[in-house]
Amino acid sequence: MSNERALVSALADRLRALGWRLACAESCTGGLVAAACTELAGSSDWFDRGVVSYSNAAKVTLLGVPRGLIDEHGAVSEPVARAMAEGIVRDGGADLGVAVTGVAGPGGGTPAKPVGTVWFGFALRHRDGTLQIEAESRHFAGERAEVRAASVRHALHGLLQRAQLPP
């Protein structure tokens, strides 16, 4: 847990220095990224919001993910991770956003998307207001709690990496 706290502290320092706010859209992590961020005193300076969009319906209604993307690619996919990241940043006051959607297990996996498959979406608002959306997938080994914890750490690393002045 201390590694997680160090990541959040470094992210907080960077976001404060930039004057940025962060938003999280989470499915398989169930709000753990937002919880890690708001565990830090003073997080209201830089944390804007977190949405737990566990169901497909929540992804559609709360984040504006097109239902067709979920139907065509599944909730655990690059297009859905991208749409979740865009949705959490698009209409809010955040400059940086992360989305997490995956199969934490123990059930729910398929040959194409085995347990431990997690997609991350990152949204960065440029100075001109345009959004840069990136997505990446990882496969984490272990039980449900281990997959979720690894997902939180990866999300925090990805946010810290992207917390820099955009072009």
- Whole-model pTM: value is 0.96
Give the per-residue pLDDT at 95. Answer: 97
- Residue pLDDT, tens place only, 105-128: 999 999 999 999 999 999 999 989
CA angle, residues 69, 50, 46, in degrees to nearest 5: 130
CATH architecture of the domain formed by 2-162: Alpha-Beta Complex (3.90)
Q: Is the pLDDT of residue 91 over 90?
A: no
Q: Average pLDDT, whole number, for the chain?
A: 95
Q: Is the pLDDT of residue 74 over 90?
A: yes
Domain boundaries, the chain: 2-162
Q: Where are the alpha helices (DSSP H) in the chain?
A: 2-18, 32-38, 56-63, 67-73, 78-90, 144-162
Counted residue by residue, the chain has a size of 167
Alpha carbon 120 to chain centroid, angstroms: 6
